[in-house]
Amino acid sequence: MNGQGMNGQRKLEGKRALVTGAGTGIGRGIALELAAQGAAVVLHYAHSAEGAEEAVRAIEADGGRVTALQADLAVPAECIRLVEEAADFLGGLDTLVNNAGITETIGFFETTESDYNRIFDINMRGQFFCAQRTARYMAEAGGGSIVNLTSVHAYAGKAGHSVYAATKGAIASFTRELAIELTSHRIRVNAIAPGLIEVPRYYRTKPTYTTEQGAATVPWGRVGLPPDVAKATAFLVSEDAEFIDGQVLYIDGGLTAKMAMPDDSE
């Protein structure tokens, strides 16, 4: 994939992007895709330093401008520091991908106050304060684009995800609200809701998981991969998506469109 449009130009040339949670999985894939399409990129990571540095080396080898920064996005002051250091490195910011988050499966009755606070602090608080500080830079620059990562869990329920789903529903609502609030600053805000996107975490947290098992649950017949989300993200932050604002785009191979009732043909 060369990230080039029909005229041979890389569509994100000149863009200055911060991608949170970019040390592994979907975030790492997004950062690589934005860089491949010409954006200068700052990769944020919390714990995945090795993955972030590998991505930095790959982007540098392709001639891209890039660095990696660590921050704990559960702490608003850390969100602000991250954004300011990213803007200093890039000479400003016009693109933010709020990808950082944690997924935990905890039964409703077993959920503690600590569990609740931990998941909301990273998944929602981090997005809010990263967006708030970044939007100031974007407003000064005359506009920009924010993409928040939510989930299919914001749309439909699955046991064990009461807190996680609540954060993702909050992100979807936050996206729509922020889109309206920032239109006067020419800042677009959209969200992407991934479905079953196969990442290394699946194999660590679900010992019995297999790609074939995942594919059997998706109407399109295969699991999603980070590039599926990355390509959609690159489109949403590009000028091609200039009239798209306040939307939630499901990248799920038809997962949320399928009725849960048994198929009579099966």
Task: Please list the active-site residues.
Answer: 164
Alpha-carbon distance of 189 to 135, in angstroms, equals 10
136-141 long-range contacts (CB < 8 A, ≥24 apart) are: 137/83, 137/87, 137/92, 137/93, 137/94, 138/93, 138/94, 138/96, 138/185, 138/187, 139/182, 139/185, 139/187, 140/92, 141/92, 141/93, 141/94
Q: Which residue bears the tokens 């064990």? A: 160
Q: Which of the 8 DSSP states describes residue 221? A: S
CA nearest 128: which of 92, 89, 167?
167
Other beta carbons less than 10 A from residue 177's beta carbon: 12
